[in-house]
Amino acid sequence: TETETRAVIVEREVAFPPEKIWRALTQSHLIEEWLMKNDFKPDEGHRFNLSADWGTVDCQVQAVEPNKTLSYTWDTKDLR
């Protein structure tokens, strides 16, 4: 069967400079503080995992534009 591609775009106004937000989204130890353990690197094409006690999520970085754009995919069981 044909699969449908969907996207989630989240936009928020935050009272911090872009550099500080970028760090929280792209530095592995900071991502772990607010999301999950990971081996993330902000390199286009990089494959990484998010992991928790219940399992892992396979991910891949799609786009990186420092302090502006970060896009990645994830794949776990029925959720892609």
pLDDT in tens, 2-28: 777 777 888 888 899 999 999 999 999
Domain count of the chain?
Answer: 1
What's the rounded Cα separation, in Å, for the pair 56 and 66?
A: 26
User: Pick the residue with more confidence: 12 or 1?
Assistant: 12
Is 78 a member of any domain?
yes
- The helix/strand/coil state of 11 is coil
Is 22 a member of any domain?
no
Is 23 a member of any domain?
no
Is 53 a member of any domain?
yes
Q: State percent of the chain over pLDDT 70.
A: 92
Q: Which of 41-45, 68-72, 74-78 has the highest mean pLDDT?
A: 41-45
Is 44 a member of any domain?
yes
Range of the domain at 48: 37-80
Is 18 a member of any domain?
no
Q: pTM of the predicted model, to two decimals?
A: 0.79
First-to-last alpha carbon distance for the chain, in angstroms, is 15
